[in-house]
Structure 1
Amino acid sequence: MRGVTIAPEPDLAPTGLPDTEPRGESESVGTVVLAGLANLVIAVAKLVAGLFSGSAAMLSEAAHSFADTVTEVFLYVALRRGGKPADEEHPFGYGKESYVWAFIAALFTFVGGAGFSIYHGVITIVEGESGGAYLASYLVLAVSFVAEGSSFLKARRQVRDESRRWRTTPTRFLRLTADTTVKAVYFEDSAALIGLLVAAAGLGLTQLTGSGVWDGLASVVIGLLLLVVAFVLASSNVSLLVGRAVPRRIHNQIAADLRALPVVTGIPTLLTMQIGPGDILVAAKVDFDDEALGKDIEAASDEAERRLRERFPEIRYVFLDPTRGKPGRDHLDGGLDL
């Protein structure tokens, strides 16, 4: 008996009810929308203050916020496009399309935010001109910090809740999560808060010394900060687009659940892949007991689906291939050991 396949209906949730909105998507959409609105308002205020004061750091912060606003639009598109149900042309759904749009968002942060900030900062350092209207700039930075902080707190709350659900630390969750939208918002808001402090420091030193070099240096630092964020997010999305495995802990638990089935004697091969922010594919070669009947193997396969999806509702597809294993060999490749 070869090629036992278990694949739940693509449009059914773990409960058997229509899955019109993937798990966690509603909260991610709220996080992205709040971040986008906050960034848009802040960007306009920073631009006005930057043009009025002539501060390179303020103009860099305006570019930063405008870039973040556009990336939030891309992330919103990523959530909507990636959540489309499977069809005949895309039987595993459109989950990976969300990584395409998230990758584009990371590139825009690189080009639109970091590029402008570094360029404008270097020009200011070379020219050495100092700005004015410091009070207005400080007020805008203070209001921006409050707005960015509100968006960051929402993203942090979602990260904390999700990390608890997966029984891991927030840091590990951010490193391993396949939900690149909440990851992007969290990192971008963190960078924004740091950037605001850097801009305030640059303005303060410029005001004290009368030299625009400090303002220019602050702009360059903001640009470098955006470069780091863009690189981290782009690398994560590329890895998921190529086909990243689930974390090692989940991989080992899946193997343990399969191996615990009464008629299973070994798991020669276990492969997993994130096919979307909330979708996992599991494929395994399973060594069943040589004395097991066909009905026993079918019952075990049904039990495997039940166990795996009960423990990890994100598992949408399970493919089991009965195979004859070699004595003493239980080879489990495919986990993401981070």
Structure 2
Amino acid sequence: MAATKHGGSNFVIYAALAANLGIAVAKFVAAAISGSSSMLTEGFHSVVDSLNQVLLLYGQKRGRRPPDADHPFGYGRELYFWSFVVAILIFAVGAGVSIYEGWVHIAEPEPLRDPTINYVVLAVAFAMEGASWLFAMREFAGSVRGTSWWQAVRASKDPAGFIVLFEDSAALAGLVIAAIGVWASHAWGDPRIDGVASIAIGLLLGVVAALLAREAKGLLIGEGADPAVVAQVRKIVDSRPEIIWVNHVRTLHTAPDRIFVAISADFRATLSMGDAEPLIEAIESELKAALPMLSSIYIRPERREDAPLLHLNEAENGG
């Protein structure tokens, strides 16, 4: 799977940020007028989403810094750190505040007021969130052709894309829950139902946060490249007549669009050191031409019999 370009992710994040800032203000105004717990919860939800998008933009900016002596492979994985922070914020702030607000409104129900403003704001918010969701889905779908949606999320190395998609999906579901809560509270004359809707939104955010944290954790720890990339690296190296056997191909994403690769190969015994050096340089040039995302390439001559353990463990390490 090709790595997602930062430019596309930035557009999706800016679109989501603009939508959430406007929606948050409208939701808080509606909550103040109507006294709706679920609308107040939705307001906090939009604020958290806005903060998340700011953090993702910050992470992308920090991640584009060039390598230096302290970080020879660059700062690309800093985006993965901020993605994990985003997941924690969704859980701690978004889900926590929603559940707390719901519990308060169940324990101390507020008198019902005219819900018209809530329906207007929810309709506008749904339209804006829907537009943001379409942008995110279109961007994400463009990089995951030929695979299922969930498999694409698991395989994606660009957290900005799937985090915004998850956030927008949760936001749309939250708006539906809030609308049902507002309607049911007035239809049955029980304001506690609105509080139950807030708790439901909080639980939904908790599930989304757990899924995002799981994916961000894997990227933060370090994930290998897509198997198709590893197979292509192996094929290019193995095509050289001077190579007897490719022992293993180890890869690691140092950024969404940058991959470190370490290759162990058994060179023909008749190949001299003087011939091996230009051969390695030629292989590196061919690999970078075929796979531009390979930012660092390390090729180690190693006899096949000296690397059995690495070869046996290759499937466990993404190579």
Checking the alignment, whether the CA contact within 8 Å between 2:4 and 2:158 is kept in structure 1 is no
Of 286-295 and 134-143, more deviation after overlay is shown by: 286-295
Q: For the Cα contact (< 8 Å) 2:247–2:307, is it kept in 1?
A: no
Is residue 179 of structure 2 the alignment partner of residue 222 of structure 1?
A: no
Counterparts of 2:307 and 2:47, CA distance in 1 = 59
Are the structure 2 counterparts of residues 215 and 26 from structure 1 closer, same or farther at C-alpha, using a change threshold of 3 Å?
A: same
Query: Which sections of structure 2, spanning at least 5 residues, go unmatched?
Result: none
Query: In structure 1, how many angstroms separate the alpha carbons of the residues matched to 2:307 and 2:96?
Result: 56
Q: Would you say 1:187 and 2:166 are equivalent positions?
A: yes
Match among 76, 90, 97 for residue 116 of structure 1: 97
Secondary structure at 1:146's aligned position in 2? helix
2:314 is paired with a residue of what secondary structure?
coil
Equivalent position of 1:148 in the other structure: 129
Cα displacement (A) at 1:336? 6.2
Of residues 161, 184, 203, the one that matches 2:182 is 203
How far residue 307 of structure 1 moved from its aligned partner, in angstroms, is 3.9
Q: Percent identity, aligned pairs only?
A: 36
Equivalent residue in structure 2 for 1:125, among 88, 106, 112: 106
What's the secondary structure of 1:313's corresponding residue? coil
**Cα 1:320/1:327, change in 2 over 3 Å:** closer
Q: Say if 1:178 and 1:315 are closer, same or farther in 2 by CA, change over 3 A.
A: same
Q: What is the aligned length? A: 314
CA drift at 1:139: 0.5
Note closer, same or farther for the CA distance 1:304–1:289 as it changes in structure 2 (3 Å cut): same
Q: Measure how far apart 1:250 and its partner are.
A: 2.9
Alpha-carbon separation, structure 2, partners of 1:43 and 1:336:
43
Determine if the alignment matches structure 1 residue 47 to structure 2 residue 21: no
Gap runs ≥5 in structure 1: 1-21
CA deviation vs aligned residue, 1:126-164 (integer Å, no higher than 9, x gap): 334453221110010000011111111111111111113
The answer to whether 1:320 aligns with 2:269 is: no
> What is the DSSP-based 3-state SS (H/G/I as helix, E as strand, rest coil) of the residue aligned with 1:317?
strand
Q: How big is the shift at 1:305?
A: 2.4
Q: How does 1:252-263 map to 2 (within 5 A)?
A: 252-263=231-242
Q: 1:133 to 1:261 in 2, by over 3 A?
A: farther
Is 1:231 paired with 2:227?
no
Quote how far apart the aligned CAs of 1:333 are.
1.1
Residue 17 of structure 2 corresponds to which residue in structure 1? 36
Q: Which one of 222, 228, 234 corresponds to residue 243 of structure 1?
A: 222
For 1:88, give the aligned amino acid: A
What amino acid sits opposite 1:138 in the alignment?
A: Y
Supply the distance in 1 between the matched residues of 2:148 and 2:117 (Cα, whole angstroms). Answer: 40
2:249 maps to amino acid? L
- Cα 1:331–1:251 shift into 2, 3 Å: farther
TM-score normalized with structure 2 length: 0.91
Q: Read off the aligned partner of 2:176 and give its amino acid letter.
A: L
Q: Secondary structure of the equivalent of 2:225?
A: coil
Q: Pick the aligned partner of 2:118 from 137, 142, 167.
A: 137
Q: Aligned with 1:318: secondary structure?
A: strand
Find the partner of 1:90 among 71, 83, 89.
71
**Per-residue deviation at 1:99?**
1.3
Larger mean Cα displacement after TM superposition, 280-289 or 232-241: 232-241
Whether the aligned pair in 2 keeps the contact of 1:55 and 1:130 (CA below 8 Å) is no
Amino acid paired to 1:254: V
Q: How does 1:164-179 map to 2 (within 5 A)?
A: 164=145, 168-179=147-158
TM-score scaled by length of structure 1: 0.86
SS, match of residue 76 in structure 2? coil
Secondary structure in structure 2 of the residue aligned to 1:326 = helix
Q: Matches of 2:111 and 2:156 in 1, distance apart?
A: 44
